[in-house]
Structures are given as structure tokens and as C-alpha cells.
Amino acid sequence: MLTLVLLLLLKGLCLCIRGAFGASATYNVGGDKGWVVGLVNYTEWAANHTFYTGDSLVFLYEAEVHTVLEVGKSGYEDCSSANAIASYEDGKTSVVLRQAGTHYFICGVAQHCPAGQKLQVVALDAPAPPPNSGPPAFMTAGGLQPSTNLGTSLPSLPLPLSSLLTLGPISYYILLL
């Protein structure tokens, strides 16, 4: 029982840390198929995900066969590389969505973009960290209090901080953070 409570508290702590650090996600564009022509509808692929600033798009492709150009709206619509913002041809291109708004990518190889090798994604502002993102109380107070919603059915704690360490490497790692 005690272990369960501790695990629940640790789980809450992990979520808190995740929120505080603004966890970002990494997406392989096109899923398993990658950055290809004709096999993936990238409009549908993008619609399957929600992107936030700080997330990364990874384009995986054969370097001699495709490229990745970051372009503006008209470049995307016209499949034009004339005003490309950035150009990549390394076969494994990772792009961080730094700014909120729409980001446009096309393949610069002739006829690939018109055949559908083009992607637009909308990056939303990353969710703000929770208002109370300071260190959890027990880290500073040295004792562990049952939280109010669990407290009624539990014998009164508090526990010394050292009992957390008996949970092993995970809690130790968290405390190091």
C-alpha cells in the first residue's frame, strides 16, 4: 500500500517535471514510410498529430533521391524552391518547430512536390508549465504528507525522505534533478 502511494506521488512528480521542462515531442514525418513521393498523404499525416513549438520533425529519406526545403506559403502552394528558407539533403533532417504558426516543407526534386511530397504543419504555442512549478513540498520540507484526496483512507504518514530512496534508481534519479 505504502509503495503504491509512493509510486503515485512519484508519478505526479514526473508529470510536474515534464510540465516544468516543457516536454517536446519528435515526429518522424510520414511515419514508417518517411519522406517519400506517392506513398504518404502528408496532409493526412499532419492532421493525425498536434504539434507544439519545440517539437521536432525528422525527415528520413534517401539523400540522392529527395531533399527537404523549408519554404513559405507560396513556395508550398506553387511547389517552388525559388525562395527557400532552408535546404537540406543529408537524408536525415531534423527541424525544430521554433515558432508558432504554419511551417511549410517541400521536396526540391522535380515533380516530387506536385506529386504530393509536401508538408504543412501548424505549430501551436507549447502549453505553459503548471502555475506551481517549484520543487514539490516534500523535497524542501524533508517530510512526505499524504495528499488530501488520498489521506482519508490512509494511516497518517509522514515519511522520512530516505524512504523514497529505497524505491531505487528512478527516485534517486528524480531527486538528483
Ligand X SMILES: *[C@@H]1O[C@H](CO)[C@@H](O)[C@H](O)[C@H]1NC(C)=O
Binding region for ligand X (CB under 6 A): 31, 40-41, 43-45, 48, 116
Q: Does residue 31 come out as left (phi exceeding 0), alpha (psi in the -120 to 50 range) or beta?
A: left
DSSP assignment of 100-157, as one string? SEEEEEE--STTTTTTT-EEEEEEEPPPPPPS--S--HHHHHSEEPPPHHHHTTS---
CB of 116 to ligand X, least distance (A): 4
Q: Which is nearer to ligand X, 27 or 88 (CB)?
A: 27
CB of 75 to ligand X, least distance (A): 17
CB of 124 to ligand X, least distance (A): 19
CB of 122 to ligand X, least distance (A): 15
Q: Which is nearer to ligand X, 33 or 98 (CB)?
A: 33
Residues 106/69, Cβ–Cβ less than 8 Å? yes
Q: Which is nearer to ligand X, 31 or 130 (CB)?
A: 31
